[in-house]
């Protein structure tokens, strides 16, 4: 009997120490991945994302270098690193997902599948003192072009069903490295939140004959939750936010593919991103936040959504009501948040346009 218990314990211990699998909740469509977090960067001189420390990361697949008024697209070789870059893209040394995973599938109640995918880092600036709220609009445009190109390439790769793009800014955001960067992760399945959003949007479209995000944009454009708008985009605090000061940025016209937006649209998106993130940092000092792209899975026969970007400021801890039941408590209404954010963002926009 003791021997059997020992075997069961060792087998269970082996199961919980293996990394690289994506586990589903017993009942709900909720996944988790066991992932070793990279060590927190305490000394800026030892930051792997800083210029001069390129050997601390994987070689770049793209290093954007400004030279003679032009942008050169270079990449590291095995024994030489590109210098003078403004944006750098490479595979993560601590990937959350991996194409080298060997884990197999298991059935309920202990359902798991391989955490198969690609994980790239996009270093958004060579200056580690920068934040997404201080990077200029031209740099933001270059970042979005690089992200767009990587997105297109990843959707040509085998086993890629969905490409997720997100950034974590600040101590409370979940990032171990304060140097501004974005994560691009692929999955072999569509993430539950995107799947739920796509299914709900498809249902409303069939029943009402209207895209729910288009309807939302039309309502919010002149409403009390509008934060800022440019020619092609609107920023607004959602009707039912999960976080205080949460806001979304959406294209005004119906579009389901971020990878197909034009350079003009990219420049416009860069302007509203920079203005709203600048306004957020002015409204809440030293704010931490997550920035997440909600994109359609760019595969045939998959449900499509009106793509947009969601920004989640982290201003307080969640309570048991939020963690246990998914019902959120906010100490500020989205209407009041939009009013405060809007005033700060309009000042940021005026300064940016004045500079341009």
- The pLDDT tens digits of the residues spanning 184-242 come to 999 999 999 999 999 999 999 999 999 999 999 999 998 999 999 999 999 999 999 99
Hey, where are the domains in the chain?
Answer: 21-355
pTM for this entry: 0.91
Beta bridge partners of 112: 23, 106
pLDDT exceeds 70 at position 38? no
Q: Would you call 179 a catalytic residue per the annotation?
A: no
Residue 17 has pLDDT above 60, yes or no: no
Local structure of 46: helix, strand or coil: helix
Residue 8: the pLDDT is 37
Helices (H) and strands (E) in the chain, counts: 7, 14
pLDDT tens digits along 105-119: 888 888 888 889 999
Distance, CA of 23 to CA of 30 (rounded, Å) = 8
Whether 7 has a pLDDT exceeding 70, the answer reads: no
Q: pLDDT grade, residue 39 (50/70/90)?
A: low
Helix (H, G, I), strand (E, B) or coil at 40: coil
d(CA 121, CA 117): 14
d(CA 259, CA 144): 10
Distance separating alpha carbons of residues 347 and 278, to the nearest angstrom: 9
Q: Which CATH architecture has domain 21-355?
A: 2-Layer Sandwich (3.30)
Quick one: pLDDT at residue 300?
66
Choice among 181, 294, 306, 308 that is catalytic = 181
What is the per-residue pLDDT across 73-107, written as a single tens digit (0 to 9) for each?
A: 999 998 899 999 999 999 999 999 988 877 678 88
């Amino acid at each position: 009997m003791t021997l059997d218990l020992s075997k069961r314990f060792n087998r269970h211990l082996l199961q919980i120490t293996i990394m690289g699998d994506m586990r589903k909740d017993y009942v709900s469509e909720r996944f988790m991945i066991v992932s070793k977090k990279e060590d927190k960067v305490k000394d800026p001189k030892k930051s792997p994302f800083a210029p001069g420390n390129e050997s601390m990361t994987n070689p770049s697949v793209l290093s954007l270098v400004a030279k003679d008024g032009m942008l050169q697209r270079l990449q590291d070789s095995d024994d030489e690193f590109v210098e003078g870059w403004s944006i750098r893209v490479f595979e993560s040394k601590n990937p959350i997902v991996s194409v080298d995973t060997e884990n197999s599938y298991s059935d309920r109640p202990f359902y798991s599948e391989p955490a198969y995918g690609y994980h790239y880092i996009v270093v958004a600036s060579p200056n580690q003192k920068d934040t997404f709220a201080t990077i200029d609009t031209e740099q933001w445009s270059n970042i979005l072009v690089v992200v767009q190109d990587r997105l297109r390439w990843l959707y040509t790769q085998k086993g890629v069903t969905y490409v997720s793009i997100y950034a974590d800014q600040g101590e409370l955001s979940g990032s171990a490295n304060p140097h501004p960067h974005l994560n691009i992760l692929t999955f072999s399945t569509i993430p539950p939140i995107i799947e739920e959003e796509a299914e709900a949007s498809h249902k409303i479209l069939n029943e009402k004959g209207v895209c729910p995000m288009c309807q939302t944009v039309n309502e919010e454009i002149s409403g009390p939750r509008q934060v800022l708008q440019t020619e092609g985009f609107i920023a607004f605090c959602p009707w039912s936010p999960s976080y205080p000061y949460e806001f979304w940025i959406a294209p005004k016209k119906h579009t389901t593919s971020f990878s197909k937006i034009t350079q003009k649209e990219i420049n416009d998106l860069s302007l509203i991103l920079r203005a709203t993130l600048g306004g957020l940092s002015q409204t809440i000092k030293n704010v931490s936040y997550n920035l997440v792209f909600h994109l359609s899975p760019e595969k045939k026969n998959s449900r499509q959504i009106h793509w947009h970007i969601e920004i989640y400021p982290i201003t307080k801890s969640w309570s048991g009501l939020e963690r246990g039941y998914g019902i959120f408590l906010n100490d500020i209404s989205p209407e009041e948040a939009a009013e405060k954010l809007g005033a700060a963002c309009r000042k940021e926009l005026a300064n940016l346009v004045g500079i341009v």
